[in-house]
Amino acid sequence: MPSSTKLPRRISLTQYLVEQQREHGRIQPPLRLLIEVVARACKRIAIAVNKGALGDVLGSTDQSNVQGEVVKKLDVIANEVLVEANEWGGHLAAMASEEMDSIHVVPNRYPQGEFLLLFDPLDGSSNIDVNVSIGTIFSVLRKVGHGRGVSEEDFLQPGKHQAAAGYCVYGPQTTLVLTVGDGVAMFTLDRETGSWVLTEDQVKIPQDTREFAINMSNMRHWAEPVRRYIDECLAGQEGPRGGDFNMRWVASMVADVHRILTRGGIFLYPWDKRDPGKPGKLRLLYEANPMAMLVEQAGGMASNGAQRILDIVPTRLHERASVILGSRNEVERVTSYHRG
Ligand code: AHG
Ligand code: MN
Ligand code: MN
């Protein structure tokens, strides 16, 4: 008997989205288009990232952004790619980005859609020049009011209203991780065919973990509950947890969250005493919220210590948040220390 010539069934991002639309009624064509456009933009960013020094994309510009951080060349490139790709398709009303002070309304010459797109164009900027994994994070909201007008207020919705969220990690592989509210799916970029191939569906984060991620250099600034949690982990076998813990800190939230979605773990970027008026370092609308939605969709938990991240009602576009997310039982433990 000749061996079968049947090709292995490969599901593309397009097919996944069509099935989400057709079989599950989860998404409508404009949202499908939006996600495909974002995924295409990420492909372009991945190409720029891979070129590195050959593409003159490394290093900084002489500008700083609205958060007072030095802007890297790749921050600007990624931002431009995402804005240009998304403004003409008719699926969006406006965009917001870590690298833009205020919202970018779709120009009048293009039709206006019902969605709002928010992104961190390049996450992990300090890792660009040292060839460590970086990424793009995005969040999709529905514009609540009708009519053509759109303002910053339209973006100030709690994360639980996100229609979709995801990130792309530019690492040894380029992986797009997506949720449209029906679990979490991972797509790997096949560079030979240029398509995103479904490589993991219904991702689940283990409930328990023995691995934490936090920037330990800030230890002296932490609040008591975080200090207690990490001290107990560090005490290992002889301590109250009765076991040894491992630590990882990539300093790219995308890479740390990707590890947690893959094998479990807990990630903390908590409030600290350095700047007590600031809730944390990470931005709520385009870092904490999309990651919280992905983590919850994968069975994990995401909290700021006092409440579920997805319930926080934002008051400003570039608002920050304290972030504790990952394996459910560990996040639950840290939040219980905050209650105590
Ligand atoms: P960005 O590059 O978009 O500004 O984000 C960097 C963030 C996040 O990706 C990471 O977890 C954290 O900053 C790293 O902070 P430290 O420099 O304190 O390690
Ligand atoms: Mn970031
Ligand atoms: Mn960034």
| CATH number for 334 | 3.40.190.80
Do both 197 and 83 map to the same domain?
yes
In a domain, 46, yes or no: yes
Does a structural domain hold residue 2? no
Say if ligand 1 is within 6 A of residue 270 CB.
Answer: no
pLDDT of amino acid 266: 99
- C-beta of 67 in contact with ligand 1 (< 6 A): no
Any ligand 1 atom below 6 A from CB of 64: no
Domain-located, residue 5: no
Structure tokens at 146: 């009708």
Q: How far apart are CA 78 and CA 99, in angstroms?
A: 10
Domain boundary among 155, 172, 201: 201
The answer to whether residues 295 and 324 belong to one domain is yes
Tell whether 215 and 308 lie within a shared domain.
Answer: yes
Q: Is the CB of 99 under 6 A from ligand 1?
A: no
- Of 126, 283, 286, best ligand 1 pocket probe by most atoms within 8 Å of the beta carbon: 126
Could you give the CA distance from residue 204 to residue 260 in angstroms, rounded to a whole number? 10
The answer to whether residue 206 is domain-embedded is no
**DSSP assignment of 277-297, as one string?**
TS--SEEIIIIIHHHHHHHHH
Number of domains in the chain: 2
Give all strands (DSSP E) within the chain, no chain letters: 60-64, 70-72, 92-97, 104-105, 115-123, 134-142, 164-170, 174-179, 185-190, 195-200, 211-213, 246-247, 266-269, 282-283, 301-303, 320-321, 323-326
pTM, entire model: 0.96
Does residue 242 share a domain with residue 154? no
Residues 134 and 182 reside in one and the same domain: yes
For residue 98, the enclosing domain spans 13-201
Residues 44 and 104 in one domain: yes
List the alpha helices (DSSP H) in 107-252.
Answer: 224-235
Q: Are residues 167 and 219 in the same domain?
A: no
Taking the alpha carbons at both ends of the chain, their separation in whole angstroms is: 69
pLDDT in tens, the chain (340 residues): 555 677 778 999 999 999 999 988 889 999 999 999 999 999 999 999 999 999 999 999 999 988 888 999 999 999 999 999 999 999 999 999 999 999 999 999 999 999 999 999 999 999 999 999 999 999 999 998 766 689 999 999 999 999 999 999 999 999 999 999 999 999 999 999 999 999 999 999 999 999 999 999 999 999 999 999 999 999 999 999 999 999 999 999 999 999 999 999 999 999 999 999 999 999 999 999 999 999 999 999 999 999 999 999 999 999 999 999 999 999 999 999 999 7
Residue 221 and residue 261 share a domain: yes
CA atoms of 49 and 195, how far apart (whole Å): 18
Distance 281 CA to ligand 2 centre (A): 9
Could you tell me if the CB of 156 is within 6 A of ligand 1? no
Atom index in ligand 1 nearest the CA of residue 254 equals 9
Verify whether ligand 1 is closer than 6 Å to residue 215 (CB atom): yes
Q: In this structure, are 231 and 325 located in the same domain?
A: yes
Question: 108 and 20 in one domain?
Answer: yes
User: 15-74 pLDDT, tens per residue?
Assistant: 999 999 998 888 999 999 999 999 999 999 999 999 999 999 999 999 998 888 899 999
271 within a domain of the structure (yes/no): yes
In a domain, 291, yes or no: yes
Cα 4 to ligand 1 centre (Å): 49
Is the same domain home to 163 and 227? no
Q: Cα torsion at 57, 81, 12, 191 (round to 10°)?
A: -20
Task: Report the C-alpha gap between 286 and 284 in whole angstroms.
Answer: 6
- The rounded distance, in Å, linking the Cα atoms of 150 and 140 is 15
Q: What is the 207 CA–ligand 3 centroid distance (Å)?
A: 29
Please tell me whether residues 247 and 278 are part of one structural domain. Answer: yes
> Which of 201, 230, 258 is at the close of a domain?
201
Residue 188 lies in a domain: yes
Which CA distances in Å does 242 have to 116, 142, 208, 212, 245?
Answer: 47, 46, 14, 16, 10
| Ligand 1 atom index nearest CA of 281 | 13
Q: What is the pLDDT of residue 66?
A: 87
**Contact 252 CB / ligand 1 (< 6 Å):** yes
What integer pLDDT is reported at residue 3 of this predicted model? 58
From 100, 253, 268, 325, the mutation candidate for ligand 1 (largest count of ligand atoms within 8 A of CB) is 253
Ligand 1 in reach of 235 Cβ (< 6 A): no
pLDDT of res. 4: 61
From 201, 219, 234, give the residue that closes a domain: 201
336 lines ligand 1 (CB under 6 A): no
C-beta of 253 in contact with ligand 1 (< 6 A): yes
What is the helix (H) or strand (E) element at residue 78, kind and residue range?
A: helix 73-86
Kindly state whether residue 185 falls inside one of the protein's structural domains.
Answer: yes
